[in-house]
Structure 1
């Protein structure tokens, strides 16, 4: 007996933080807006589409963003407002399915194999959800509809902003073959670079590599790459998905062993981690510093704390102390990373409901 086709929707709010600010302050509408950071320091937490035209992106240092777009307007983030709107959006989701896997305040997977409104297709559900979010919040969501999480995520991003795109089971394998590797969810810039050096530039190139070939280079990630190159992704949508850590890292254009230089380079990384912790309303008891040296050797140092932390000052204090413990350094540093784990979620994972035309 053939297994029923899973019906997955990926919802992603368009430039969420920036769109909220433009909605609430009419003077910002139509202008390039960056949420977070400042003109001199920090990082961009979100950028409006008007700013993205100039190359401004989230996680970009504010000074770089200002250089790319001199007219960029910086706005302080209002995470309480974003969380309140996110709860309204989740309420829209919950009216259609109980199987919701939030990824952040503005993004989630929904399994609508069985939908609560009795709509005839997953596409109809996605269309209804987008309309309800717009009516309720005045904000625009993009949606991807497909038979697995990988393709639903690809679909939601395919024609952003203000998009609804569907990848059916009949389309999936061929669609992936023509997809650039850089648009594969789960393949970041470092892995993309490695694949390009191997001559892998599209899904078709990736599909041509055997599982054994991929495993020799990419280890445990090979099975995922091998599957998605064929339009296969068996991961279920997990309701109330538990996040294990929040982190960020950066590879530098030049290596350094100087403590003051490395301390300055930690600043935007700490900004990003603290911003993510606030956005998700999470703190963690363990802070980990990752250091990769010029010879690509890597070490981590961690410190467990008596209570969950998320504020930037505490993260900086602990991270710098861990960095100081590594001195004197025998090699210069090419990458630094900071993560927070042992997160305080305050809730247990709920069981997944097992599961209609896309």
Structure 2
């Protein structure tokens, strides 16, 4: 079989299936194992215990699918045409939602297209051992993407490409045929440190290394406990994820809008007013978030995140009233609501706070006289 010819066909088929770029690499990630272990030993994975549980399997694709000799790494762009260029980041009365989550959940869509690609290859070669992955298994997808020529690992730890920046999803198709491999991309960040200096919580502790415990994306999505107070002000109005490191990246000026309508902004986020989103009942939350990656964090965590954003918003009677109405649902939520109420009332002159004596007693710590 002419494997080079097959590799060329695979890249054409991938584009027909909606991928913008595909690369091929071998399965040797041994050079990344020491760095992975060091990251885990430092506790940078936070409470994502599954990362430590799978250990070095993440650097050994062949353990996921015995017989694997190549990884086909694929990129699918997701920048929506109505991304609003982060305009609502500057409006503290509105919620900021990470751009990747504005539309439908990408996992199923990308995985289905990878599966179709595998089926197409199987039709060509007669028999094929393959398996698609999209954040669905312990796999170092970014080192694989770099090795396959899809880009390089930026200082924010995401994959960057000169042609499109970083607004794209990654997926992998493990196969058992010896396709020719592509050339890895070299780092082209240069001396730029925009992503590091712009991180609201200083989560990028070294070039290419993120301490998840400080990352707003981790705190709002993966972490379901009490968000440390030291990070709450820095979170601003970010209620699901954070794009700051990508928003400031010079390479993202070249990013193209996605043609995939599933990734376009859903109507419920056209005007994401904090109080309106906070007013959703659990039933409304589940209905409005059907098909969205946000659905998996659940209603209480949604309210927790919004509480922090409301605490960071300018004083509003409607915000104070809304926060009060949600007390008693859970201890974790109450801790964030009480903090938010304290932030709201601290913006009032002292003579005005006396009108909120009952609220101040609820918050327990009260307010300083010079607030």
Structures share a fold, TM > 0.5?
A: no
Query: Which of the two has greater helix per residue?
Result: 2
Query: Which of the two has greater strand per residue?
Result: 1
> TM-score, normalised to structure 1's length?
0.30
> TM-score, normalised to structure 2's length?
0.29
Q: Which has the larger radius of gyration?
A: 2
